[in-house]
Amino acid sequence: MKDDILTRLNQYRILWVFVFYDLPTETKKDRREFSLFRKRLQKDGFAMLQYSIYIRHCNSRENADVHIRRVKNKLPPKGEVILFTLTDKQFGMMEFYRAAAASQKPATPQQLELF
């Protein structure tokens, strides 16, 4: 019973941070900004879910806030960026389809959490 409660609570405590972006690529400078933004996301541990959609697994709200702040501090000068979070429970209810067939969800990363 206690393990059941802890598992359920963790599913609501663990968060996934999503970054959706639509950046211009018309000029050489635009393409450079696009590339820098994408590389910064990857360097901060975000993984591509779909083209222009990146996600990151965070063990707590505090950890998610750190990564959200990092993205906000490096926003490109043009284009649109959308940030939002989902709980692990909500993420687990997403359905992924590829070519009309259900596909596997991205694996939850194994991370060591220090207290």
Domain range for residue 50? 2-89
36, two tokens: 């820098």
Strands 80-87 and 101-102, sheet pairing: unpaired
Is residue 74 one of the residues assigned to a domain?
yes
Work out how many domains the chain is built from and give that number: 1
Is residue 106 one of the residues assigned to a domain?
no
Is residue 99 one of the residues assigned to a domain?
no
Task: Give the whole-angstrom CA distance, residue 56 versus residue 113.
Answer: 15
Is residue 77 one of the residues assigned to a domain?
yes
Q: Over the stretch 39-87, which tens digit does the pLDDT of each residue have?
A: 999 999 999 999 999 999 999 999 999 999 999 999 999 999 999 999 9
Is residue 97 one of the residues assigned to a domain?
no
pLDDT at residue 36, as a whole number: 96
Does residue 34 register a pLDDT over 80?
yes
Q: Decide: residue 81, CB within 10 A, 0-12 exposed, 13-18 middle, 19+ buried.
A: middle
Does residue 4 register a pLDDT over 70?
no
Is residue 108 one of the residues assigned to a domain?
no
CATH of the domain at 59: 3.30.70.240
More confident residue, 43 or 10: 43
